Structure 1
Amino acid sequence: MNERLEAGRYWFDQVYGEGRAEGLIDMQSGLARDLARLGIEVNFGDIYSRPGLTLAQRELLSLAALVAIGGLEPQVRGHTRGAVRVGCTATEILETVIHTVQYCGFPKALNAIRVVTDELVDLGVELPPGREAATD
């Protein structure tokens, strides 16, 4: 097994939980397994393993990029779970999505915030009140 794949498995499991990297590969078949391995190698073995950003920062940045691209709800769900797992608060996660609106527009941000909110609720994370609730 190569060094990059081992590093990728380590960092993937740090974000998503023990054995999750192998689970991602195992859920594929044939050549699709190669793509899953490459994703773990490149995204986590090369990128997530770099110094300079914490896992929490990386997860918030990943969420922002996915929101801006749009139409990637399963990945938004997964990175929301990852963000919670590495210590991001609900406020940090939701504010990251809100921040993207100025770059990607309301439709993408609104779609994503629904996915993120639903995932946070499913995880049992308490949602922060909105600003209007704080001023009432």
Structure 2
Amino acid sequence: MTKRLDKGKHWFNEVYGEGKADGLIEMQTGLAQDLARFGVEFNFGDIYSRPGLTLAQRELLTLASLVTIGGLEAQLRGHTRGAIRVGCTPTEIIETVIHTVQYSGFPKALNAIRVVTDQLVELGIEIPPALGPDDD
């Protein structure tokens, strides 16, 4: 195993839990495992391991990016779990999605908020109440 892969596995497991990096790679078949390994090495070994941002900040930025791209529901679910695991609050996660509406548009933000809130409920986490029109 390379130093880069070791570093990537460390940070991936910090976000998702012990052994999850190996699980991601092993869920692929044969040559396809290389793509999963590249993701662990680059995304987590090179990017997530950089100083300057906390894991919580990185997860909120990742959620915002995924919402803006759109159509990445599986990744939104995974990074919602990761965000909770590294200490983000449900309010921070939901407000991150709400914040993206000005850049991504309502269809992407509404689709994403459904995925995120469903994942939070699945994790047994209470969704914060709406502020309402008079609470802004």
* Bin for the TM-score computed over the shorter chain: over 0.9
> What is aligned with 1:57?
57
Give the superposition deviation at 1:73.
0.2
* Superposition RMSD in Å: 1.1
CA shift in 2, pair 1:21/1:97, >3 Å: same
- Counterpart residue type for residue 63 of structure 2: L
- Counterpart residue type for residue 6 of structure 2: E
Give the superposition deviation at 1:129.
0.5
Q: Which moved more, 1:123-132 or 1:75-84?
A: 123-132
Q: Helix, strand or coil: the match of 1:46?
A: helix
- Counterpart residue type for residue 84 of structure 1: I
Poorly superposed stretches of 4+, deviation over 6 Å: none
- Counterpart residue type for residue 20 of structure 2: R
Give the superposition deviation at 1:30.
1.2
What does the per-residue CA deviation read over 1:7-27, in whole Å, with 9 as the maximum and x for residues that have no partner? Answer: 000000000000000000110
Structure 2: state its 5+ residue gaps: none
> What is aligned with 2:24?
24
> What is aligned with 2:36?
36
User: In structure 2, how many angstroms separate the alpha carbons of the residues matched to 1:27 and 1:104?
Assistant: 31
- Residues paired across the two proteins, number: 135
What does the per-residue CA deviation read over 1:4-63, in whole Å, with 9 as the maximum and x for residues that have no partner? Answer: 100000000000000000000110011110000000000000000000000000000000
Q: Does 1:119 align with 2:123?
A: no
Give the superposition deviation at 1:133.
8.8
Give the superposition deviation at 1:134.
8.2
> What is aligned with 1:67?
67
User: In structure 1, how many angstroms separate the alpha carbons of the residues matched to 2:14 and 2:100?
Assistant: 26
TM-score (norm 2): 0.97
CA shift in 2, pair 1:133/1:43, >3 Å: same
TM-score (norm 1): 0.97
User: In structure 2, how many angstroms separate the alpha carbons of the residues matched to 1:90 and 1:116?
Assistant: 9
- Counterpart residue type for residue 46 of structure 1: D
Structure 1: state its 5+ residue gaps: none
- Counterpart residue type for residue 4 of structure 1: R
